[in-house]
Amino acid sequence: MKACLLSAALLLLAASQGRANLIVNGSFENFTTSGAPNDTNFGNFIRFFGPPDTASNTELTGWTITGSSGGNPNNVDLVNSSLYPAFAGNWSLDMEGNVGASGVIQQSFATTPGQLYQLSFAYGNNPSGSGGTMQVLVTGNGTLLDDSVSHNTSSAANMNYNLFSADFTADSSTTTLQFEATTNSGFGVVLDAVEVDPIPEPASLTAWALAAAGLAGWRWRKGKRATA
């Protein structure tokens, strides 16, 4: 009995603590560069372009840059922490590249219909500008989450990152997360540490609690016998 309780508790604890982030490259640390028309390297930041300059840009591992604004290709700036601090790792993503064009990035991932998930990320703003706004959109068969964030208090010394968190329930086997800059000053919202995690169902949490309680009780009884 004690072996079963121990095994159950350890397995459930590992499951609850080992929730896998469904987002690939959520901190934008992995990328490739190939030069024009896909990207331009400015030294401490790299500008990645979407259509119409390039049919599809997937140089930011896991992400696709899409769309255009007024005939200008949407683009984003991948910024090294030597210019201003990232929230996690060495890189963050300014959602506005060229003045006059917005940035749109998206990523699709596998989900289970009816399962609850939590989206989280950190955001600031490019300290060289006066702030920016970004739409946050999650879609499956329908719209699962539609929100926006704004930020204007970052400086090169202190980015003053905010943390965003919201839940959504999947309605299909594939879900798409999209971020879109809704300002186009060239100095936008800075995005980092994007995660989507499944939220354990109440039954799973109850089973973990019961197993943990059983393990604690077994340890207490064992201690009592040892001191008797």
- Tens of pLDDT along 115-143? 999 999 999 999 999 999 999 999 999 99
> What is residue 24's predicted lDDT score, i.e. its pLDDT?
98
- Distances 228 to 155, 216, 220 between C-alpha atoms, Å: 64, 18, 12
- Phi-psi domain of 131 (left: phi exceeds 0; alpha: psi -120 through 50; beta: other): left
Mean pLDDT over all residues of the chain?
85
Mean pLDDT lowest among 51-65, 78-92, 101-115: 51-65
Q: 58 pLDDT exceeds 80?
A: yes
Count CB atoms within 10 A of the CB of residue 149: 17
Long-range contact set of residues 62-65: C-beta below 8 Å, sequence gap at least 24: 62/23, 62/24, 62/25, 62/30, 62/107, 63/24, 63/25, 63/28, 63/105, 63/106, 63/107, 64/105, 64/106, 64/107, 65/103, 65/104, 65/105
The contacts of residue 225 (CB under 8 Å, 6+ apart) are none
- Tens of pLDDT along 9-24? 444 444 444 568 999 9
Q: 95 pLDDT exceeds 90?
A: yes
**Where are the chain's structural domains?**
18-227
Q: 189 pLDDT exceeds 70?
A: yes
Of the candidate CATH numbers 3.40.980.10, 2.40.10.120, 2.60.120.260, 2.40.30.330, the domain formed by 18-227 belongs to 2.60.120.260
